[in-house]
């Protein structure tokens, strides 16, 4: 975390202020305040007007404070209240939505949990992993735009922001954090809400019926347990598990496994080395391209199947009678499956 330092504060007053107010645990240091003999600049010195320097001098501190604000926002905020167990490790906010909204959640290493409920209330809970990172609760951005019915959550916002601890530039980082300095996000939204989640290493868990969902992750797992209108996932090494997807399912994965309990009407999956397991229970099309992972597709009974499979060194098998006409005649009840692998096996069977 970088703070602006008052440009003309005296050596004595600044050292005393720093001894009285600086919380070394918040920035990962182990030295005690008694060991500090000379002040160390926290950021390049910037000249400010006298009034601004005075304000910063008073507000530039890192004390852990109990967040018990009852401030009511004009955009529909019901209130901000402290966590019941430890106010230093949790921040809660609530908003009143009028219908399913569009939510955007961006984290670095924090986990994301989204629950779709029958209520129009939007509840946001931010949780820090330890008191060392409690300052991230306050600097995180949580913005609800009532007129546009949108919610934005950024746990490590970029740029200049102000808080009770003064001015901050960029995300709070430490050489010793190694991606651990982030907060977890738990959100309750109305059912049918559309969602965009971006994270580096945090896991994403989705519960309840959602609208159009997009998740981008580097190494975090993605689990969408229930129904969604559409789902698009991009991940490098995380596993992907989804419930039933209605219209469109797109998944790109480098090495993670992909499991879908209900393939969409239009399903596209691209994987390098992870296994792919799909259950198909509605007409449409499934395209799977894999390099070394196995592909298993289970087709619900009552659907005619048009299969096109190709593997270089793997094996391919099916218990479906590809020579017959099937037990249905309408093209609208046909599922077209195209699977390509290099060394993985392919298996396409009727569901038991």
**pLDDT one digit per residue (tens) for the chain, 352 residues:** 444 444 444 445 545 544 554 443 334 444 443 443 444 444 444 454 544 444 343 333 333 333 333 333 333 333 343 334 576 799 999 999 999 999 999 999 999 999 999 999 999 999 998 898 898 999 999 999 999 999 999 998 865 444 444 445 444 444 344 445 799 999 999 999 999 999 999 999 999 999 999 999 999 999 999 999 999 999 999 999 999 999 999 999 999 999 999 999 999 999 999 999 999 999 999 999 999 999 999 999 989 999 999 999 999 999 987 665 444 445 558 999 999 999 999 999 999 8
Sign of CA dihedral 59, 62, 67, 68: negative
**Structural tokens at position 289:** 């391209």
> What pLDDT shows up at residue 181?
76
CA angle 303, 345, 289 (to 5 degrees): 70
> What pLDDT shows up at residue 323?
61
SS3 262: strand
* CA–CA separation, 309 and 316 (whole Å): 8
Position of tokens 């300095």? 181
Task: Answer for the pair 267, 252: CB distance below 8 angstroms, yes or no.
Answer: no
> What pLDDT shows up at residue 330?
53
Q: Which long-range contacts (CB under 8 A, 24 or more apart) does 264-268 make?
A: 264/230, 264/231
* CA–CA separation, 297 and 276 (whole Å): 8
* CA–CA separation, 219 and 251 (whole Å): 14
Side-chain-side CA neighbours of residue 295 (13 Å): 31
pTM: 0.71
């Amino acid at each position: 975390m970088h703070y602006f330092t008052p440009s003309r504060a005296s050596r004595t007053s600044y050292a005393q202020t720093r001894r009285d107010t600086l919380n070394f645990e918040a920035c990962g240091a182990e030295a005690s305040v008694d060991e500090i003999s000379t002040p160390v600049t926290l950021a390049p010195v910037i000249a400010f007007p006298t009034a601004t320097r005075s304000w910063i001098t008073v507000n530039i501190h890192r004390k852990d404070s109990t967040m018990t604000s009852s401030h009511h926002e004009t955009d529909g905020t019901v209130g901000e209240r402290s966590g019941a167990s430890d106010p230093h490790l949790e921040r809660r906010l609530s908003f009143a939505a009028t219908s399913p909204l569009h939510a955007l959640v961006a984290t670095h290493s924090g986990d994301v949990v989204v629950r779709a409920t029958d209520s129009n209330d939007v509840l946001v809970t931010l949780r820090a992993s330890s008191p060392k990172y409690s300052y991230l609760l306050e600097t995180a951005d949580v913005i609800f735009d009532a007129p546009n019915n949108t919610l934005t959550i950024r746990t490590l916002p970029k740029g200049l922001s102000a808080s009770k601890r003064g001015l901050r530039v960029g995300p709070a980082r430490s050489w010793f954090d190694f991606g651990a300095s982030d907060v977890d996000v738990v959100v309750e939204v109305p059912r049918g809400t559309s969602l965009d989640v971006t994270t580096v290493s945090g896991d994403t868990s989705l519960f309840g019926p959602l609208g159009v969902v997009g998740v981008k992750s580097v190494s975090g797992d993605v689990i969408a347990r229930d129904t969604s209108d559409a789902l698009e996932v991009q991940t490098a090494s995380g596993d992907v598990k989804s419930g039933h997807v209605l219209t469109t399912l797109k998944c790109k994965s480098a090495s993670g496994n992909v499991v879908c309990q209900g393939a969409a009407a239009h399903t596209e999956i691209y994987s390098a080395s992870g296994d792919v397991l799909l259950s198909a229970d509605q007409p449409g099309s499934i395209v799977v391209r894999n390099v070394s992972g196995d592909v298993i597709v289970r087709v619900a009974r009552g659907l005619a199947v048009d299969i096109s499979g190709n593997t270089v060194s793997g094996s391919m098998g099916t218990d479906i009678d590809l020579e017959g006409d099937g037990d249905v005649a309408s093209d609208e009840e046909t599922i077209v499956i195209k699977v390509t692998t290099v060394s993985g096996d392919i298996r396409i069977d009727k569901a038991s």
